[in-house]
Each structure stands twice: as structure tokens, then as C-alpha cells.
A and B are shown apart, each in its own frame.
Chain A
């Protein structure tokens, strides 16, 4: 604002003017719904998460264990050969410290998203959150273990693991 301008032109409106219907308005609430079928690989992967287990698939040509589980090996371009149960421990591949939530609101306690290489898998890793750790002490290569939701709260999603904590 320049020195000459003391007040910006316009009509100030508050939340109350709208909630008490003092001004007329139109609303816009588009229904942009989607549904995504998990398919064979991810379907079993999520079903096993509900049971508290992490499952991957093995390709016998490149000898990799893929996590999250997939039906196809994208290196060899062939169907995978078997299901492999993995431990719920791993290593931090990379991480970030976020002071905003996903709609860009400030948060005081940061979230620590991390890429976790689960022990026994040969993929890049899975994206998840770290907790029970001081943000300053997080290191690449740190060993971590999954903290699961109680059985009743699980719904067959990656969020059935609440977060990963250092061991």
C-alpha cells in the first residue's frame, strides 16, 4: 500500500455475512469423484496390511523382490513368480521435514515423510511417515520399524501402518 492510500477500496465481507445470509451468493461444490481398482498385486498387498503383514512379489528372472507387490516385473516385462512375506523393519532411504500439511497450512510439529526400504525387498522403497523421533536425529540409513494401528481400526490401506519409528 502506498503512502497516499489509507484504505483499500471495496466492500469487506466476513464469514458471518455469508453464514447469516446477509449477502446473496452462489455455491460451487463440484462432485469430482473417482474410484481406483487396486488390481491383483496391490489388492493382496492391502489385504495383507489389514492382517498386519507386509507382502511383496518375487521375479525369478532378475531375482528382485518387488514392494509394493506388483503382478508384473517392469524390468523383465514378465509376470512375477511368487508372493514373499517381508519383515516390518527397514532402512530410511531418504526423508524430508514438512512444516505444512497437504493443504499448505502451517503445523508446529513437523511431519517427516520418508522413503523406507523394507528389509528383504529390492525396490526403491515405500513412502511413509517417521515418528517418535526428533527431526534433528533423522538420518539416511537409520533402521526403523513399523508401528501398526490396532487391528479393529485397520481398513486395508497403507495407513494401517501409523508410522515408522527408529530401533
Chain B
């Protein structure tokens, strides 16, 4: 065949591309928007994450009519549809409502030590937070175990649920 074959990988001439604004600009030299997105947390979310960032406190929203506290806070009561305008601080201590042990990471790769993921509920509160549990022997984790939030240092907090590093037993 007169059409010469490519036998070395280094002779291949790949074309690069991507669906990302930052990578698109660098590689494709196109300033067009890629798949970049920004998500703001809304009124209740803003209160919740701002309080975590500034004060390392967990915020709830109180419904007077139903006598319920929502964590994370919402701006409407799910039961009576009333607007929620009263914010309150919830203790950083709660208990494990349910948990699971994950032996794989996000990419499906095996982990030597499992990650403990738990739904943590707080006293007198409707709802809870799904988060990691650490500083505990895997075999000793149990439903009903009392745990407390461990926050990052103030200068490291950026208004994210990961500002809580994990929950640890108390």
C-alpha cells in the first residue's frame, strides 16, 4: 500500500479538545464559555454556610406553627408551607441515625481504610447532615452513637459543607 503506515506513537498527530472554559481557553484558544457553572446557595443556604464559615455554628430554621427545626435550613416549611423567618443555632453535637462504610473512592478505586459516611441528626431537629465520621474504630461505629462536628480552622473555611472536616465520637 503506498499510503505509509504510522508505526510509532510519537508520529501520531493528536488533536486536543475539551468542554471546559479554562482548558478551552488554554488549549483551543477560544474564549467561548465551556461547561463552567456557578451555584449560589439561596437565602437559607447562604445563612447556613455563612454561619459555618464565620462562626463554626450549624444553623436551623424554625417553624413556629409545626414546632419544627429544619437542618439544613429552608425558607418554607415542608408541612404547612409557611414562610420560615426565624433562624436558630443548633448544637454541634448529634447522633448517628444511619451509616455506611465505603471501601471505594469516587473513581471506584479500592481503599485500604474505609470511609464512614453517616446521617447525623441533632436533638429536637427535623432532618440532618450527611457527612464523614472519623477518629473512630470502624468496628465500633453504631447507630445512636453521639458525635460532634470537627471544623477546619477559621482561615481555612470557605463556606462549604467541607468546612466541617468530619464528625467524631464524644
Contact = CB atoms under 8 A, between A and B. Distances in A.
Given A24-B159, A31-B23, A43 B53 contact: no
Contact of A30 (B1, B17, B20, B53): B20
Interface string A74-87: 00000111110000
Contacts, number: 99
Contacts of B3: 40-41, 44, 57, 71, 79-80, 83
B55 interface: no
B2 A83 contact: yes
B32 interface: yes
Interface residues of B, number: 37
A37 B15 CA distance: 6
Contacts of B35: 28-30, 32
Given A31-B18, A39-B6, A40-B6, A156 B13 contact: yes
A156 B36 CA distance: 29
Interface string B11-38: 0111111111111000000001111111
A79 B33 CA distance: 41
Interface in B30-71: 32-43, 45-46, 49-50, 53
Nearest to A43: B13
B5 interface: yes
A95 to B, nearest CB: 23
Interface string A24-62: 111111111111111111011011000000000100000
Nearest to A24: B159
B16 A35 contact: yes
Given A24-B46, A25-B38, A32-B35, A43 B20 contact: no
A96 to B, nearest CB: 20
A41 B40 CA distance: 48
Nearest to A82: B2
B15 A27 contact: no
Interface of B: 1-6, 12-23, 32-43, 45-46, 49-50, 53, 159-160
Given A30-B20, A40-B4, 20 more contacts: A11-B42, A13-B40, A24-B45, A24-B159, A26-B39, A26-B160, A28-B35, A28-B37, A29-B20, A29-B34, A29-B36, A29-B37, A32-B35, A35-B16, A35-B17, A37-B14, A43-B12, A79-B3, A81-B2, A83-B2
